Each structure stands twice: as C-alpha cells, then as structure tokens.
Chains A and B, each alone.
Chain A
Amino acid sequence: MKSNDIEKRLERAFSAAAPDDFDSVLRDCSEQKGNVIVMTEKTKTARWARFAAAAAVIVFMTAGIFGAAAYRVNYAVDSMISLDVNPSIQITVNQKERVLDVTPLNDDAAVVTGQMDFKGSSLDVTVNALIGSMLRNGYLSDAANSILVSVDGRSADRNAALQERITREIDTIMRDDLLPGSVLGQTIENSDSLTALAEEYGITKGKAQFISRIIDKNDKYAFDELAGLTVNELNLIASSAAQKPEEITATGSASDKKYVGEEAAIKAAADHAGLKPSEMEIIKCEYDIEDGVMVYEVEFVSGGYEYEYDIDALTGKVLKSDKELDDDTQAAQAAVQTGASAEKPEKLIGEAAAKAAALGHAGLREGDVSGLKCRLGREDDVMVYEVEFVSGGYEYEYDIDALTGKVLKSDKELDDDAQTAQAAVRTGASAEKPEKLIGEAAAKAAALGHAGLREGDVSGLKCRLDREDGVMVYEIEFVSGGYEYEYDIDALTGKVLKDEKELDD
C-alpha cells in the first residue's frame, strides 16, 4: 500500500466522520450579532482589569524600590527584551522604556499578542499585559510555569538591572495569580554564532543562548534536539541534571505536573522488567529528551544485569528498554567460563553472528550494505539484536534472537531518505533501482506539453530529481516568452503535480 493511498484513506475517513452541525455554530455566532468585536473587547477589559491593577501596584512598587537606580542608569540605552514560554515574543523599547514594537515570533505568540497595540506603552504595562494574556490563554499554567526573560542592550550593567527587574515583576504577577512560577533571566552576550543559530531555528537569541548554555554543561544534547522544546521542558532538563547554567538566574522550579513523576517512571520500568523496586539498585532517574519527546531516563542494576529504560514522561509508557550483562558479571562470567557458576546468564550469540544472520536472510554481503547498525535490545521479553542497514535503495530492519540467532522479525522498505535516493540516481550506479522512474526526458516532455511549448521555444531548461512530501518528483524550470515556468512532475507517473507560471524579472 503506497503512502499516498494511506493518506487518502485517512482523509476520507476523517472527512466522513466530521459532523455537520453548522447550525449550532451559526446560533452561537448570531447570539452575539453586531457586537462580536465589542464583546471580545469587553471580556478582555474585564479580565484585564485585574492585571492592570496588578500592574499599577507593581509599577508603584518598582518605582519605590528601583526608582533611584532607575533614574541613574535606565534611560541610557535602547534595549530588546524577549519573553520565551512556548510563545516567543520580542519587545523593543526606546531610551525612555517606551515600547517601540512587540513582535510575536511564532503562532502561539500571535495568539498571546492578539489585537493588543503596545506602541508607546511603558515596558512594565506591556510585560504585565503579555503575562496576563499568557496566563489567560493557558501558556503559563501550573503544568508549565517557566518563562525565560532575555535582555539585550548596549550596556551590561543596564541589561542586568533590567533583567532583574522584569524577572522579579513577572514572578510577582504569577504569585498574584496564585501560580508559583519559575522565571529564568539572562542577558544576551552578543555573538554572531548565536544570531546565526537563532535565525536557523527560528527562535529568539535568548532561547538560543539558553540552549547553548545547557549544551555547554552537558554535551550529550544536540542543539536541534532542544530547539523544539518549550522553556518549561528546557528548564526541567537543565535542573534535572543539576547543572543549571550559572549565568542564568532563576526563581522557583519548573513544573513537572504534566508528567507522571519519577516514582511512576521507576515503577513502569520495574513492571516491564518483572522486578520489584526492592530488587533494583537505581543508578539514575532523570529527565531526558528522545526524538523530541520528554522521557525519564531510568537506569538500574538487578541480578547481574544493567537495565536502561526510556519512559515517556507524559504517559508513563515504556519507549525503550535495554538489558545487558553488568560489566562485573561479564568479567566474572569470563573468569568462570569453564567452571559451574551459580547463576549463569544465558549465552548470547554476539553481534557478528547476529549481523551474519540478518545479511544471510537478506541475501547480501557486508560489502553490499551501508549504515550497518547492531544493538542489543529486548522485544516482547526476548533478548534480540536489532540489526539495521541500507542497500540498493531499501532499508532493512531485523530482530535476531540473541540466544538462538533466529530471525524473529524482518522488514524491508524503500529508503525514504531523499538524499540517498537522489545520490543513487545521480550516480546511476544503483544496481536495483527501487521503482521505475519515467526519466528526465519524459518529465520535460510532460512539463512542456502542459505549457503548450516545444523544447526549442524555451531557454534555461533545468530538470532535477527531488522528493516532495514523500513523492519522487522531477523539478523542472524553464523560461519562455518572458515567463518563468516551474513544474513538479511525479517521477513515477509523469503527472503534473505543480505548475507555476510567472513574469520573468
């Protein structure tokens, strides 16, 4: 069954299942007829009043506490303040701390800023309104209470003062809302690499710096792995390993209410391993990130084996389990190879034998394959070697019984990696071409036919094999009669998937 067919089937199913009850929508819209916009404004003001009042109190307080210092240094520089929760918002202010612009940097942020216009407002009022909106929209809640404040300006002293003030202010607002927050504060150290990272991942410089600092402390993480996390998740990871970067100030601690908790994670691992907690010596249990998913990484020793589990932090489900002989036991086993050991762990066939079994099943030799990986794991309570490799445009996956060498599972599918496919086609060397492509000539003909042109009529004709949404396509470009044409032609069927024609400039 092709991917396309599966997608169509899904679309069909959900389209059929979607109820058709527009009348009820209409009813609820009509009830507010005419003053829809006013209504939203109204609710906004009502809810706002609370924050406005809080803001007034805080402005008053800060004027008292920070007033003297503020007058000396605060009007010297323009600054940029970013707030990251999951929504990322950037605020720029002038020397008098009047807001020049508030920029929502992602969809969530756009929800937070809504229709509010901050131009000319004071920074404090703006921060208050934004935090209020985040609370109202549920981006800050008792399940995700972390917010990162980053200040970027010309003077380090001024940055530090501003950062301290804003973090304290946000902390107070959240306290007023009976939500103990974890407010992280930092000043931005300007560097080109940071700017580049922020641009590449579409995040604020502040978040990029926070992530870089976490990685500095713990190099097992990769930047792109962390870039997609919310600040609460980053905060949890940073504090879980007890290596919060010192350059960052923090109040409170990150909420873990969303997650099942360490105890439940250990229990899930114990259940899966068929052990009682009393039989286990826990080495560690901490937050980690796997494939963009928050997990508890649980490690323990029991009965001469070392266990490693990844437990989905949201659901408590076992995502990965690994059991292997403890190093000590292994040594002991080697020592008493001849003698009768009391509890002899079963004998594994070894990686080499597992690879051989998989390759044998596939009818390939080691020289024919690339990316050969072999890992000891556990599938349905059976110790298996998971063997993976790529060959001839296909991905192979095997589970080999670690004790008997029997093939328990085998899987062969078209390699989905566009690069591999492209590279294979480019060199033209692939012995067994995965599926039959129509070829460049046919693709060009299809595009030209669609445009009603002959090859002689066009210039700059380019054709490139690519992958779009999992479909192999020929991308074709040419110029004719003052127009630029762009086509995507299905590389298997020759169908025109995309056509664009625009004035050549």
Chain B
Amino acid sequence: MLSLISADGAAAENNAQLDSLIAKIALSDKQALASLYRQTKAPVFGYALSVLKNPYDAEDVLHDCFVSVYQAAPSYRSMGKPMAWIITIARNLCMQRLRDASRTDQVSWEETEDYLKANDGVSTEDRLTILCCLKRLTDMERQIVLLHAVCGFRHREIAAFTELPLATVLSKYHRALKKLREYFNGEDGFGEKQ
C-alpha cells in the first residue's frame, strides 16, 4: 500500500492520486473520503500512536483527523505534499490531546497489549513490533521512524516537519533502527553488556 512511496516516481504518482482524492472530498465526495481513509489510516493511526502512546487516544485522533480532512479539504492547496498536510492535521490533534490530558495520564503497556490482542488482524509479530517501538524508542526516535517507515516521509521532509536539523534526524533514525534491529535479532549482537 504505502510502501510504494519509497520509490520517487511512485511517490509522485501516489501524491497526485491523494491530491485528486482531496479535491473530490472538497466537493463532498464521501466515496473519495473512504478511499483516502483506507489508504492513509495506517500512517495517521501509527503517527498518533507514536506520539500519544495510547491506542484509544490514537483511535480518536484517527477519527477526528478524517472529520477535519473532510471539513478542511476545500481550503487545501496542493503543494504536492498531501501526506504532510494530513499528518500536520493529525499532529495538531495530538498536541491538543497532550495539552488536555495531564502529563501522567498514560495507559499501561498491558492495556496496549490487550488492545492489540483484541484485534485478530494483528499477528504476534506485529504486536511485538509495535510494543517494541513504544517501549524501546525515545519519543523523537519513534516519531522519526514512523514518519519514514509508515508515513513514507523522506528524511529531509521529516527534518522540515519536526524542525530538526537533517543530521539530527538521520542520527536519531539510525539509532532507532539499531535498537529495533537488536531487539528483532533477539540479542545485543556479540558481547552482551554486563
């Protein structure tokens, strides 16, 4: 689905397709909204989960995000970056939630695990992958990895989006991948730390 974004030509094509969906949504085309939802719910949900670390809140953001997309579509001006627009909306919704909730208001890992277990579509590997992302990565690392791997952002787009220097984005990205790799390989390579 969104993996096609990794190649440039395909990305441009995909962006053009999303752009045309948004143009139709601006004319209240619900069918187009459904297509956009199907195509981009994973990035939106994944991003929200990576920021909020709470699947229930992420679900709400997913819902609110597409209601906002529907409302805001008439004012959307394509700059060839439909994903950045959608994710910016998601980010604002996440920020609102973070402001509203008290800082300690966090869901436990067990609850998150139960949430994922309740979904038959989520395999054990998927579940462990998500939990590893949530537990082992820092907030910024997780966002950067999600933006790249799931939202299809390029590193320089992530730098622009997060307003971090490109070098920082790259180093955080590689650090995060290293952590994930260590976890997926089941051990810390050779010479486990004492």
User: Which of A's residues lie within 8 Å of B, judged by CB?
Assistant: 1, 3, 6-22, 24-26, 28-30, 32-34, 36-37, 39-40, 86, 106-108, 110-111, 114-115, 137-138, 141, 143, 202, 224-225, 227-230, 291-293, 314-315, 379-380, 382, 399, 407-413, 416, 468-469, 488, 497-500
Contacts and interface: CB of A to CB of B under 8 A. Distances in A.
Given A29-B70, A36-B71, A499-B9, 20 more contacts: A1-B181, A6-B149, A10-B129, A11-B2, A14-B42, A15-B42, A17-B122, A18-B46, A28-B67, A33-B28, A111-B89, A137-B92, A224-B167, A228-B163, A228-B168, A291-B168, A408-B193, A408-B194, A416-B170, A500-B9
A83 B144 CA distance: 27
A390 B34 CA distance: 50
Which of A34, A106, A412, A469 is most buried by chain B, counting CB atoms within 10 A of its CB?
A469
B163 A469 contact: no
Given A11-B149, A14-B130, A227 B92 contact: no
Contacts of A382: 194
Contacts of A407: 191
A128 B127 CA distance: 48
Contacts of A106: 160, 163
A225 B171 CA distance: 13
Given A11-B150, A228-B165, A407-B191, A469 B184 contact: no
Contact of A25 (B67, B162, B164): B67
Interface in B128-172: 129-130, 133, 139-140, 145-146, 148-150, 154-155, 159-165, 167-168, 170-172
A292 B164 contact: yes
Nearest to B188: A409
A292 B45 CA distance: 25
A13 B130 CA distance: 7
A138 B95 contact: yes
The B interface, classified by DSSP as helix, strand, loop or mixed, is: helix
B154 A10 contact: no
Contacts of A107: 84-85, 88, 160-161
B105 interface: no
B71 A141 contact: no
Given A29-B33, A138-B95, A469 B3 contact: no
A16 B160 contact: no
A291 B163 CA distance: 12
Nearest to A31: B67
B17 interface: no
A297 B95 CA distance: 26
A111 B70 contact: no
Nearest to A88: B163
